[in-house]
Amino acid sequence: MKKALRIAVNVFAWLILILAFLVTLIVFSSDKNNGVANLFGYMPMTVESDSMVPTFNKGDLIICKDIDDINALKAGDVITFWTIIDGKRVKNTHRIVGINDTDGVRSFITRGDNNPIDDTLPAYSSDIIGKWTETKIAKVGKAMNFLRTKKGFFICILIPMAIFFLFELYKFIVALIETKRSDAPEIDEEEIKRRAIEEYLASKGETAEKAAEAVKDTAEKAVEAVDDTVEKAEEAVKEKAETTAEAAAEKVEEAAEKAEEAVDDTVEKAEEAVEKAAEEIAGDSAE
């Protein structure tokens, strides 16, 4: 249904565009050709009266064609020509009912199919615009006349053309978006879930890795602190041991000195005792 509607809209849009193009050509062509539009030798004309009923009616659109050879025209042909009606030079489309050749000048006697008498003025070769091709479109002439006005051109041509171009722009944007979507790979629901889980686990893995690194850093810092503390304790113990050894050595040296002094004193006392004993022995011997 949507596809059929889209096709119908496209066809309608293109018809409007073609019509706008044709009307534009007709308007510009008629402006350059005394009010007579000429498209590749063909001239669309709007019937302004009922003088040709029943051949065609007022408001019909008829198509005339350039005449290559005026002498080829004959009675029964329907021609469009310039004439004077009520003091105004206007276009008229009537049937040829007679031909006059006076002093090498050809003129045509015309009459409307719905008129009882011939036209007052004959149509001369210089007045003839074109010959009817027997093509007519009922009631389209009125619409063509309206389209030639500024109001009709704006309402029926410019606005639809603007809508057409906006619609084409919309289609282009939609096609561009669909192209980008088609270029992207299609992912089903299971694939989306799987990817979400992988991303979640990856994020958790990164968190655990960061935590492990933090623990490792903390442990290394703790080990460094312990090593530092042990080194400081060893240094303190070593210093204390050295201090204690020095103090002990000093005490031993002092004890040794005291002992040496005591020994010397004892030796002196022993020597004195020996001397004294020797003196007593000597005294006794003398007696």
Residues in the chain: 287
For the chain, the average pLDDT equals 79
Q: What is the pLDDT of residue 218?
A: 65
pLDDT exceeds cutoff 90 at 63: yes
Degrees to nearest 5, angle at CA 241 with 237 and 244: 140
Q: What are the extents of the domains in the chain?
A: 192-287
pLDDT exceeds cutoff 70 at 100: yes
Between residues 222 and 254, which one has the greater pLDDT? 254
> How does residue 278 score in pLDDT terms, banded at 50, 70 and 90?
low
Can you tell me whether residue 131 is helix, strand or coil? strand
pLDDT exceeds cutoff 90 at 276: no
- 200-204 average pLDDT score: 66
Between residues 171 and 246, which one has the greater pLDDT? 171
Q: Which helix (H) or strand (E) holds 209?
A: helix 189-286
Instruction: Please state the pTM of the whole predicted model.
Output: 0.53
Can you tell me whether residue 22 is helix, strand or coil? helix
